[in-house]
Amino acid sequence: MHLFDAATRFYGGNAIVGGGLPLAVGLALADKLQGSPRVTACFFGDGAVAEGEFHECLNLAALWKLPVLFCCENNLYAMGTALARAQSQTDLAAKAASFAMPAAAVDGMDVLAVAAASERAVAAVRAGDGPCFLEFRTYRFRPHSAFDPELYRSSKQEVEAWKERDPIPTFIARLRGDHLVDDDALAVLEREVAQEIGAAIAFAEAGRLEPEGDLTRFVYSEPRDASESA
């Protein structure tokens, strides 16, 4: 969860719900002050919309016209709470629009709709018009964790109904229908993906574990020696 790669501007996940929002606003502010044409895309779930930093960050981004694209993946369940039980306004795009920024809801199960909406939003942000908000309306098929009994779902039929709109098989069917791919091309792609995943797993398992002595590093301020303070 706490992984990042500054070289590719991937600033990682955050164990705090909505914790990535203020980080994104800070990065976007730095880019604006430096005159950089970058756009910071911040991804978070519907549960983060109930947090205070959501409102604070959208407000500041709109006030300062920061180059941020706020991407909310609304899968209807924040861990174990249905959206309607936690949010008085379940139209999250409408909530974001109250901060005087362009906001739109997109079918998050439609790959092409997501791509088109994202391209438009990125272009608007990059043009200097300030932040944008996209709500990707999607669904989570699986439990939140291995110990999640999923008692919050209305029924098992709900999951099966949403699976009929699974974006991967529906997109594949669309590509086949448009004669853009065939079974042989898909088989090659699946083999390449499986090989890439296998290589990543092997690399991780072969990696060196962090020394136990580093477990408590940076929990408190690190002591500085005399040479550093000189």
Mean pLDDT for 147-173 is 92
Same domain, 133 and 185: no
Q: Is residue 136 part of a domain?
A: yes
Residue range 120-134: mean pLDDT, rounded: 96
Residue 216: band (very low, low, confident or very high) from pLDDT cuts 50, 70, 90: confident
**17 and 71 assigned to the same domain:** yes
Same domain, yes or no, for 144 and 178?
Answer: no
Distances (CA, A) of 43 to 7, 23, 70, 148, 199: 19, 11, 6, 23, 27
The per-residue pLDDT for 49 is 96
List the structure tokens of 209.
């574990």
Q: Across residues 178-204, what is the average pLDDT?
A: 95
* pLDDT in the model for residue 187: 95
- Measured in whole angstroms, the distance separating CA 31 from the mean position of its chain's CA atoms is 20
Number of domains in the chain: 2
Q: Are residues 101 and 183 in the same domain?
A: no
pLDDT given at position 1: 67
Radius of gyration of the chain (CA): 21
Does some domain include residue 216?
no
The reply to whether 10 and 60 lie within a common domain is: yes
Q: Specify the range with the lowest mean pLDDT, choosing from 29-43, 105-119, 121-135, 199-213.
A: 199-213
What distance lies between CA 68 and its chain's CA centroid?
Answer: 13
- The number of beta carbons lying within 10 Å of the beta carbon of residue 73 is 16
Name the residue range of residue 202's domain.
166-207
User: Residue 80 contacts by C-beta under 8 Å, 6 or more apart in sequence?
Assistant: 144, 148, 151, 152
Q: Could you tell me the two tokens for 168? A: 């991967």
- State the pairing for strand pair 81-82/77-78: antiparallel
Hey, what amino acid is at 220? Answer: Y
Q: pLDDT value at position 25?
A: 97
Question: Would residue 90 count as lying in a domain?
Answer: yes
Residue 40 near residue 29, CB atoms below 8 Å: no
Say yes or no: 113 and 182 in one domain.
no
Residue 192 lies in a domain: yes
**N-term to C-term CA, the chain:** 37
Check if the beta carbon of residue 82 is closer than 8 Å to that of residue 152: yes
* Separation of alpha carbons 86 and 80, rounded Å: 11
Does a structural domain hold residue 227?
Answer: no
Residue 155 domain-assigned (yes or no) = no
Pairing state of beta strands 40-45 and 68-74?
Answer: parallel
14 belongs to a structural domain: yes
**In whole angstroms, what is the distance from residue 118 CA to residue 218 CA?**
38
Does the residue 159 lie in any domain? no
72, 126: one domain? yes
Q: Is the dihedral of CA 29, 129, 90, 136 positive or negative?
A: negative
| Mean pLDDT value across the chain | 92
Confidence of residue 74 (pLDDT cuts 50, 70, 90): very high
